[in-house]
Amino acid sequence: MGKSAASALLEKRGVAIIDTDQLARDVVQPGEPAWHEVQRVFGPDAVGPDQQLRRDYLASVVFAESAKRQQLEAILHPRIRERWVAGAARWREEKRPIGAVVIPLLFETGAQREFDAIVCVACSGASQHSRLEQRGWSPEQIRRRLEAQWPAEKKMERAHYVIWTEASMDVHAAQWERVLKKLSGDE
C-alpha cells in the first residue's frame, strides 16, 4: 500500500518512526522468548539451519489456516505492542511533537485506541496486487494475506486521514505535508 515509502518520507521530515514490521522481526531473533515459543508451537521446520525463523514456511502455514495465524499472532502481537507502546512513551517523555507508529494490522489488533490520529496509507486493489506480485508472491499467497486483513476501504473509513499512493512520490510527499501541518496545528 506504500508504508515503506511513507516511512521514508516521514523520516526525511524528521518524524520519529516505529515500524512494527521491524519489531516483528526483532522479537523473533534467535534466543528471544518469542523465537522459542514459535519453534515450540510450529515445530522444528519453523527454524532454518541459520537459526532464523523460516518466514516462508510460517506464512504457508498461518495463511492456510486461520487458527494457526491466530496462534502466531497471540505469540507476537503482545510483544510487538509492548515495544511500540514503550517507544511512544519515550517520545512523550522527550516531548516530541509528533511520531508515527507504522502498524499494518492497526484496526485488526484494536490498537487504534492508542493514537490521537490515524493515517491510512492506501492504493487501489490493482496496484496493491501488482506491488505484491513484484515481491514474488503468487496470486494465492496474495489472496490469503488480503483475506487475513480488513479491506482498505474499511480502514480508510475509520482513519482520520488517507494518503493515496497511486501518484508520484512528489504527490505522496505533498499529501504528507498537508497532514503534518494539520497534525502540528500549523493549518
The predicted-structure confidence for 105-131, as pLDDT tens digits, reads as follows: 999 999 999 999 999 999 888 888 888
Q: What is the CATH number of the domain that holds 67?
A: 3.40.50.300
CA distances from 48 to 11, 58, 60, 123 (A): 33, 11, 15, 35
pLDDT digit string, tens, across residues 25-71? 999 999 999 999 999 999 999 999 999 999 989 999 998 898 999 99
Q: Is the pLDDT score of 151 beyond 70?
A: yes
pLDDT reported for residue 136: 84
What does the mean pLDDT of the chain come to? 92
Can you give the residue range of the structural domain that contains 129?
3-184
The Cα–Cα gap between 16 and 10 comes to 8
Q: How many domains does the chain have?
A: 1
The Cα–Cα gap between 140 and 145 comes to 9
User: Exposed (0-12), middle (13-18) or buried (19+): which is 53, by Cβ within 10 Å?
Assistant: buried
Number of other residues whose CB lies within 10 A of the CB of residue 63: 19
Q: Is the pLDDT score of 79 beyond 70?
A: yes
pLDDT reported for residue 1: 67
